[in-house]
Amino acid sequence: MSASHSRGRPPASSQETLQDAAFDLFIEKSYADTSIADITQRAGVSRATFFNYFDAKSDVFWVELDRALGQLRELLAAQMAPGETLSPRSGLLAVVNALESCAGQLQREQVPFALTQYEMIGSINELQASALNRFSLIARLITEFLSESNLPVGRARAAAYALIAAAISAAQEWASAGTARDSLQVYLRDSLQPVLEGFAPEGE
């Protein structure tokens, strides 16, 4: 991930640099009043460079989530590699574990900007859309996995949405709990457990 440019011109920027510049400006002005040109100017590169690091303006919000999503994908793929099929309950369990494990990545870092600023995200259409797009990706991923764990696809989809909804509300509670907060994993566990039991009760 980091030893990839032994050869060409060294990068003059990075996702993190641009993200920092963007967040500063979003707070100084607002998301809507900050253009991509503003961001790259603050970061000391040209406008076009922005698109070397992000596909869209709204993507600066989702660096951490996208990383977690990639990890989730890997975790789930690893679980179903060998061709053996899981029972519905163990499939659900695997998803819950994978979600909690991804959340573990966040526990030591600071709370992502997206979480502390979720009012901003809730109110700006374009941002909300970019968030929802991600959740829909996650939903598709989980639905597919559960459906290969022998849940009917409709039930798999419902369970996926329910899990995501539970995870979102857990993350919101976590973020608003302030400095004295437990780790996100604790919130997640409390929040995912009922969904697990709802969709695949223990004695099944």
The residues binding a copy of itself (CB under 8 A) are: 125, 128-130, 132-133, 135-136, 153-155, 157-158, 160-162, 164-166, 168-170, 173, 191, 194-195, 198-199
As given in the structure block, the two tokens for residue 53 are 């690091």
DSSP 45: S
Shortest distance, CB of residue 68 to a copy of itself, whole angstroms? 19
Of 8-16, 74-82, 147-155, 193-201, the segment contacting DNA by CB under 7 A is 8-16
Q: Are 85 and 196 in contact (CB under 8 A)?
A: no
Q: Does the protein bind DNA through residue 12 (CB under 7 A)?
A: yes
Report, in this order, helix, strand and coil percent for the chain, each rounded to 5. Answer: 70, 0, 30
d(CA 183, CA 67): 19
- C-beta closer to a copy of itself: residue 21 or 103: 103
Q: Are 190 and 170 in contact (CB under 8 A)?
A: yes
- C-beta closer to DNA: residue 78 or 132: 132
- C-beta closer to a copy of itself: residue 2 or 125: 125
How far from each other are the two terminal CA atoms of the chain, in whole angstroms? 43
What are the C-alpha distances in Å from 108 to residues 25, 183, 184, 188? 26, 8, 10, 15
Residue whose C-alpha is closest to residue 39's, from 52, 53, 23, 55: 23
Report the SS3 class of residue 73.
helix
Shortest distance, CB of residue 170 to DNA, whole angstroms? 29
Q: Does the protein bind DNA through residue 203 (CB under 7 A)?
A: no
Q: Does the protein bind DNA through residue 116 (CB under 7 A)?
A: no
Residues 36-65, one symbol each (x = binds DNA by CB under 7 A, - = not), give: xx--x----xxxxx-xx--xxxx-------
Q: Which residues bind DNA (CB under 7 A)?
A: 4-13, 34-37, 40, 45-49, 51-52, 55-58
